[in-house]
Amino acid sequence: MKIVIMGCGRVGAALATMLDAEGHDVTVLDIRPDAFKRLPPQFKGKKHAGNGIDQEVLARIGLDQADAFVAVTQGDNRNVMATQMAKHLFGVRRTLCRIYDPIREEIYGDLGLETISPTLVGAMMLKGMLDREPAPLEAEAEA
C-alpha cells in the first residue's frame, strides 16, 4: 500500500516506522524538515518538507496515487482540512484523522471522516486501568 502520513511527530514517526518495516510504500510529510530526525536510519520511505494543507504540495507528493492518508499534526484543524482535501480533492480511499478535541472529533465523525481522539481514548484506557484491581504485591501474595 502507498501511505502518506502528514506530521512527523512522535505518533507520525512511530507509525511510519512500523508501516515501512512491514514493506509499505510510506511518504512522510512535515512542515519542519528537522522533524524527520525522529525517523530511524533504516527508514526507506520518502520524506517531504512542506505544508500539508497546500493542494500543490499534496499534488507534488503524488497524493492521488495514495491508498491511505493519515493526518497526525499537532493542529486539529490542520488535520481536519488536510484529511478532507485528501478525500475530496485527491480521491484517497482511506483517510484517517487525529483530532484531540473530543467534540470536534464527534462532529467530523458524523460528517463521515474516520477520526480518532487520543484524548478520549487515553482517558478511557487510564480509567480502565484504575478500575481493574492491581495484581497483589509479592509480599501480600505469600502472606
Partner 1 sequence: MYIIVVGAGKVGYYLAKELLEAPEGHEVLIIEQDAAKCERVTQELGDIALLGDGCEAATMEKAGFGRADMVIAVTGDDEDNLVVCQVAKARFSVPRTIARLNNPKNESIFKRLGIDTTVSATAAILAQIEQELPTHPLIHLLQLRGSGLEIVEVKVPKNASIVGQRVGELLLPQQSLITLIIDTDGTPRVPSSDTVIRAEDQVVAVTRRESEDALRAVLTNSASAGIYGRDG
User: Which residues contact partner 1 by CB under 8 A?
Assistant: 53-56, 75-78, 80-81, 84-85, 88-89, 101, 103-104, 107, 110-111
Rounded to a whole number of angstroms, the minimum distance from the CB of residue 54 to partner 1 is 7
Rounded to a whole number of angstroms, the minimum distance from the CB of residue 111 to partner 1 is 6
Whole-angstrom distance, CA of residue 132 vs CA of residue 47: 42
Rounded to a whole number of angstroms, the minimum distance from the CB of residue 139 to partner 1 is 48
Pick 20 or 105: Cβ nearer partner 1: 105
Rounded to a whole number of angstroms, the minimum distance from the CB of residue 115 to partner 1 is 13
CB 99 within 8 A of CB 80: yes
Pick 29 or 39: Cβ nearer partner 1: 29
Pick 12 or 45: Cβ nearer partner 1: 12
Rounded to a whole number of angstroms, the minimum distance from the CB of residue 101 to partner 1 is 7
Pick 5 or 82: Cβ nearer partner 1: 82
Residue 131's identity, in one-letter code, is D
Pick 27 or 83: Cβ nearer partner 1: 83
DSSP letter string over the chain?
A: -EEEEE--SHHHHHHHHHHHHTT-EEEEEESSGGGGGGS-TT--SEEEES-TT-HHHHHHTTGGG-SEEEE--S-HHHHHHHHHHHHHTS--SEEEEE-SSHHHHHHHHHTT-EEE-HHHHHHHHHHHHHHSPPPPPHHHHH-
